Amino acid sequence: MTTTTNKSVEYLKRRKAWQQQYAAEGRASINEIGEIPPVLNPELRESWRLDLHKFLAEAFPDTTGLSPLSPDHKRMIKRMEVCCLSGGRTLNAIFRGAAKTTISENTVLWAILFGHRKFVPLIGADKTAADEMIESIKMELETNDILFEQFPEVCYPIRKLEGKVQRAAGQTHNGERTHIKWKGNAITLPKIEGSPSSEGRIICTGLTGRIRGMKFKRPDGVQQRPDFVVIDDFQTEESARSKLQTDIRLEIIRKAVLKLAGHNKSIACVVNATVMQQDDGVEQLIKDSAWMSERIPLVKSFSTAHETFWLGPYREIRTNYDPDDPLGQEEAKRKSTELYRENRELADDGCEVAWEHCFDPENEISAIQHAYNFLIDDGEEVFNSECQQQPADPNEHLSMMSSPEIGRKTLKLSRRIAPVTANKLTAFIDVQKNSLWWGLVAWGEDFTGHVIDYGVWPRQNSTYYALKTLKKTFATEYGGMTLDAQIYKAFEDCTEHILGKKYTRDDGASMAVSRCLVDAGWGESTDTIYKFCRNTLHPCTPSHGKGIRATNAPMREWKGVKERERGHHWILRLGSGRQVQHVVIDTNYWKSFFHRRLQAPIGDPGCIYLWEWKAYHHSAFTDQLVSEIPKEATHGSRKVDEWVLRPDRPDNHWFDCMVGCCVAASMEGVTLPEWQQKRTPRKRRRRKASKL
């Protein structure tokens, strides 16, 4: 009995061992991928190795190779190629619909497949964008036959998974595990001897997700950190409108993303994005000299028939339809397309678009028509932002008040008395050959301004005077001195008069001028002004006004500027030979800003008004506030109010003073409410009463 039992036990053990061996052999046959097919065309593959554009155009016939890419695309792609191969920081600000996300995805594949980089994070605005990008990359590796033929050492093991991620853990080649990863938001390519992409890793994540400490351990024990990162449209609509969220995202890029390689190595970084709002995260990177960048608009020059055809009969036909007719809009679009077809030579004349293949071939004839359809259907503001990379200024439209209207815009406060809401006092001094003109404004935190004083130095005895009719000048007050000595002495006396005293607020609180800007642009006295500002104990800063025109680059795009601080259309530059920091001002912008503040009703945030006085007493002052007129200038899609002096009002000195006071307030941290993040208070949830 015992012998029989022992034989049964031995039989069961042998049977179990046989079953385990059979199962193991079965699993091994499934896990082993066998011989990898050879590269179909080694010469073609080699031609792609150092040519990103050729790779994108030929390896992806259904995406980046579907239509010929534009010269702007080629420049963009060349910058990405150089960044990947040689390092650096590259930013491409390009119009919506330019295939930048697909270019980003396929560029990551190029970097990994050729072994140019070993670990590449692809970062989107949020998790949803990241999930879409990783699925797109997986789809190309799984189904793209051209990639399979030219990179079989990568695509063949992936196809052998047959969509079953469980097989990845046990997959082998020649008995060795491939260590392929094919799950979640990360991909690790198979370890194949001789493959340049062996163990290359791609990870897709949102910018606000887990960024810091990103790494993975290779089978050989090496801790691999990211060595190339691609950021695609890192902003959302909400974050672009929020200064707080913009600052947070830029901080993540600068402190986390750009430090992913560690302290002993710089990481190569490419950003492909679209400007959404003025001074959003993309614009701030554009004006950062550490980034090589380009802003690419859809329309480079508008048609000569911009007004006479596109915004005339074409728009009228396209937008004129019966809203109660379900087919009305479709018919209007068809008729407008026929009108364009009949007048195409006239309509296209002078118009240049960045990408001639950017249109819907089923409903449109050309990219020019597509651009104008976008402009007409969605409006100029959306078009300028999404297509032209030039978001509209929120203070875009401007009209002028008359001198008497401004003089009547007063509050019941005496001269030199600030309102109770004011917490900043700023001043500006305009320099002329025979006098100093100055203004003083009290500001609330929302840019509400109250002009509490203005004047001329030397002080005059009348209430209405002009530069040419002044009775007291430098010569009458400081005779016997050189002009430089006269100006220096006048500054000492004038600043003591307006800055060396305390002012009273309506509630009795005491206030002092926190910043005074001084016009240093008058060439004969510039050195003297810098010398005075360097020596005085008063808070004086030299300033230089620059009327930035439509044909000039906006100040936010200036690069290579030795600056201490960059603010809202002003730059505080470091001192050079004169050893004094000074501020450069976009005067065209700030003149428009000041007049918009004048037009704001009393009580509204950002309103500017005068102390209570008869309107005719203020007339000398208010006449100068309307001494210039704005003329709208256009260059491409960029529009600027360019201010010019009226020939019948040659004096604009107090106007310059008010503009300078606005800039000084901005430098002191005063902002309009719309420049700030608007927070919505969280609603507290009411707890349900517990049941006893």
- Fold exhibited by the domain 42-296: Rossmann fold (3.40.50)
Helix (H) or strand (E) holding 490: helix 483-498
In this prediction, residue 18 carries a pLDDT of: 63
Which one is predicted more confidently, 152 or 210?
Answer: 152
Residue 506 structure tokens: 């309506």
Cβ neighbors of 253 (< 8 A, separation 6 or more) are 207, 231, 234, 271, 281, 285
Mean pLDDT of 123-149: 95
Model confidence over 540-575: pLDDT tens digits? Answer: 999 999 999 988 988 888 877 778 888 999 999 876
Residue (of 8, 39, 309, 18) closest to 153 by Cα position:
39
The rounded distance, in Å, linking the Cα atoms of 310 and 303 is: 8
Task: Give the range among 346-350, 548-552, 591-595 with minimum mean pLDDT.
Answer: 548-552
pLDDT above 80 (res 594)? yes
The rounded distance, in Å, linking the Cα atoms of 368 and 66 is: 19
The rounded distance, in Å, linking the Cα atoms of 580 and 533 is: 8
Residue (of 501, 515, 493, 480) closest to 435 by Cα position:
493
pLDDT above 90 (res 480)? no
Phi and psi torsions of 239, nearest 5° = -65, -35
Pick the CATH number of 403-542+587-674 from 3.30.70, 3.40.50, 3.30.420, 1.25.40: 3.30.420
Model confidence over 225-242: pLDDT tens digits? Answer: 999 999 999 999 888 888
Q: Measured over all CA atoms, what is the biggest interatomic distance in the chain, rounded to whole angstroms?
A: 138
Q: What is the pTM of this model?
A: 0.59
**Domain range list for the chain:** 42-296, 299-386, 403-542+587-674
Specify which of 174-183, 277-286, 422-431, 453-462 reaches the highest per-range mean pLDDT: 422-431
The rounded distance, in Å, linking the Cα atoms of 124 and 104 is: 10
Mean pLDDT of 133-147: 95
pLDDT above 80 (res 692)? no
In this prediction, residue 677 carries a pLDDT of: 46
